[in-house]
Chain A
């Protein structure tokens, strides 16, 4: 039931303090014709409503959440403590810079540390999430070519194993998308890349390790091919959790990157996050950065770059998310950052090796932070699809892996355990997955019905997509 349906006129809880400034009402002509639908509930009803919603959902605080490519790692509580400090919360974005030097220092220090981890020269924190970062990065590439009078560069090359957002962002930024087929080993096909590179190439978008969880060993060759034809290389930071502190995108030859603080740097993901998708770049792209960057020696201040592409978001991005990410980086430190990545890789390989005698691995080799299984054989044999196994996991208190992605693998389940899970949790998940495989072979019908223990059972996804309710129907 929606909170609006629980509302009763006149009920409420006084959460707002008394108004301490003069009340000014809008003129008659400016008043709204219909009153707003604001829910009216007592505090206990409100509290129960949200507790009920929390109980119905599954987050990383409830159980294992191996959602591939999403890095659903634990969000340490110390991050929240730091972000809740009054110096970070009781501020206003229009406050004079000299009164919020600590906040500017947070932005500056985060920029320095994240640039060191990624091998970039500067970073903007304006983008609110990954795809927003991609869009920002592509606009930087566009502005760079334009500033050199090189306007024939209209094409962005995207391998077919890329995140779905990559071609979408490139199209949004006004580029033509050139998709290239992956090589049989899941990496970029160098010959095909060479073929499509030319005078009209604006750049390449890539994630490494790629979406099948493998590190592309040809990465230096790939970025060289693109640079040789005059294009720039964009790094999608979605999979940085496999390599942070060990390999730097800047050293792989990338010119511009985005990070997902809500993935790699342990800030909340999902449920609105909010996210943060900072974009880092090499020096030649710095003049185009969206405003504002923090500069200054004695006193820090916000500076707008002369050829800035403009505002990607109001003010300085999701600031308290930066505080949380900085807390994470400083808590782990120089040794902890690469260790976290090593453990993420170890956990993925551990699970993969415990499953591969039963489940078909899309690429049976040492993986990075995630691995992809193909359930095509099982589906052929038993009728049980990746979707059925995913639903079966729900009945066992485990969030499903990413399904049907990457598109180049049939009946894909993409598992990313992350470094924050214990051996016991991984063992339990392996046991559940093995049990589900057995059920698929012996009692397929049972799995077609799953989940049966969750607050909401098997959804009619087809019905929802064909006949969606796009807006709430108010009674008045």
Chain B
């Protein structure tokens, strides 16, 4: 399982990265491997508001549909349109396959550092 030192994580297995007030959100390597091959992604629309700890989209594997939670509260500035046509990139490169970028962030979930997330996953196993 790959965990990147420069990212922050949630207990619901999303990663998040802040750059100049814009927060980029995706699913962790652990999450994609637990979900299996993904075949469909649902994303919000640009301008939608998202709330920390609430569902903002979902991913579908051949087994099940799973919700994806937002680590932050704010407004969707950009969505990764390419992901809609190529959900397999989440399996191939989970840390490049971002879902949404959020601006005007007013609050966040409890965010974990890379070490904390690794420890959390180990405790879940």
Contacts and interface: CB of A to CB of B under 8 A. Distances in A.
Interface residues of B, number: 10
Nearest to A467: B39
Given A403-B63, A465-B62, A466-B39, 6 more contacts: A461-B62, A462-B39, A462-B62, A465-B40, A465-B60, A466-B87
Contacts of A462: 37, 39, 62
Secondary structure at the B interface, as helix, strand, loop or mixed, is: loop
Interface of B: 37, 39-40, 60, 62-64, 87-88, 125
Contact of B64 (A407, A461, A465, A466): A407
B46 to A, nearest CB: 24
Nearest to A468: B39
Interface in A353-380: 380
The 9 closest A-B pairs by CB, nearest first: A465-B39, A462-B37, A461-B62, A404-B63, A466-B39, A404-B64, A465-B62, A462-B62, A407-B64
9 contacts: A387-B63, A404-B63, A404-B64, A462-B37, A462-B39, A462-B62, A465-B40, A465-B60, A465-B62
Contacts of B64: 404, 407
A421 to B, nearest CB: 27
A462 B87 CA distance: 11
Nearest to B66: A407
Contacts, number: 17
Interface in A396-424: 403-404, 407
A387 B62 CA distance: 11
Nearest to A387: B63
A466 B125 CA distance: 30
A407 to B, nearest CB: 6
B56 to A, nearest CB: 16
Nearest to A403: B63
Secondary structure at the A interface, as helix, strand, loop or mixed, is: helix
Contacts of B37: 462
Contacts of B40: 465
Contacts of B60: 465
Contacts of B63: 387, 403-404
B61 to A, nearest CB: 8
A387 B60 CA distance: 16
A404 B61 CA distance: 11
B45 to A, nearest CB: 19
Contacts of B125: 380
Interface in A121-162: none
Contacts of B87: 466
Nearest to A404: B63
B88 to A, nearest CB: 7
A465 B63 CA distance: 11
Nearest to A410: B34
A218 B61 CA distance: 35
Nearest to A164: B65
A186 to B, nearest CB: 18
Contacts of B62: 461-462, 465
A187 to B, nearest CB: 22
Interface in A234-286: none
Contacts of A407: 64
Interface in A422-476: 461-462, 465-466
Nearest to B87: A466
Contacts of A461: 62
B39, B60, B64, B125 interface centre (most CB from chain A within 10 Å) = B39
A401 to B, nearest CB: 14
Contacts of A404: 63-64
A18 to B, nearest CB: 51
Contacts of A465: 39-40, 60, 62
